[in-house]
Amino acid sequence: MLRSLKMPGMAQAVGDLIEQGAPALDAAVPMLSQLLKAEMAKCEVRSIAYHMKVARFPAYKDLSGFSFSASEINEALVRQLHRCEFMDAAENVVLIGGPGTGKSHVATALGIQAIAHHRKRVRFFSTVDLRTRGISACIPSTACRKRPFAYDKILYKQRHKIEIAFGRLKDWRRIATRYDRCADIFLAAFTLAVIAIFWLQE
């Protein structure tokens, strides 16, 4: 537990005391264990609250508050998605339907479940948010499409390079998991990792 709380020094000291057979340690272990469990629980609650805030959900919504009887949504499929197994498989989920059909409710419920029970990082964007940021789709049409739509090929190649870079970054776990640090430190670490990755490929 000490190592999970990022206290390697204390963990090593406790190990040394155990090897030495310190008599006072046996009496202190139960109390220390309870204190560490309380601290871990507090850290977990604080972490969930932080990621809920970062996700910027428009409102708290879960499946218990969704009326499947009043919707045409496939309840069995939604509950299967609610287990968040598609995230571990790196699969996409697209919710299609008219206004008021429950898309945002289900999407929010999936995001909250991912944060609270699977320790995933989530960010909620509405269409208005994306347009305000000047973000638009830049994806080529499928080969079977009769009327391909136009897209910026140069921009697509640039975005593809970024996707590849973040994909390679997963191998650099110490960098990829520093999401809780300040932006400047993360950007500096990310820049060094990307330089190292592409330098190694040369």
Angle 33-180-35 from CA coordinates, rounded to 5°? 10
Q: Residue 112 and residue 48: Cα distance in Å, rounded?
A: 9
Quote the pLDDT of residue 145. Answer: 81
Contacting residues for 155 by C-beta, under 8 A, at least 6 apart:
138
Tell me the domains of the chain and their CATH numbers. Answer: 1-48 (no CATH), 56-136 (3.40.50.300), 139-202 (no CATH)
Query: Could you read off the pLDDT of 114-171 as tens digits, one per residue?
Result: 998 988 889 998 878 888 887 777 788 888 888 887 878 888 888 887 777 766 666 6
Quote the pLDDT of residue 8. Answer: 66
CA atoms within 13 A on the CB side of 102: 17
Quote the pLDDT of residue 150. Answer: 80
Q: Which residue has the tokens 């499946």?
A: 63
Contacting residues for 196 by C-beta, under 8 A, at least 6 apart:
none
Q: Residue 44 and residue 98: Cα distance in Å, rounded?
A: 37
Quote the pLDDT of residue 186. Answer: 67
pLDDT mean values, one per 10 residues, the chain (202 residues): 62 64 65 74 85 90 87 89 87 84 90 91 85 79 81 82 71 57 67 70 57
User: φ and ψ at 29, to 5 degrees?
Assistant: -60, -45
**Residue 109: Cβ-neighbour burial (10 angstroms; 0-12, 13-18, 19+):** buried
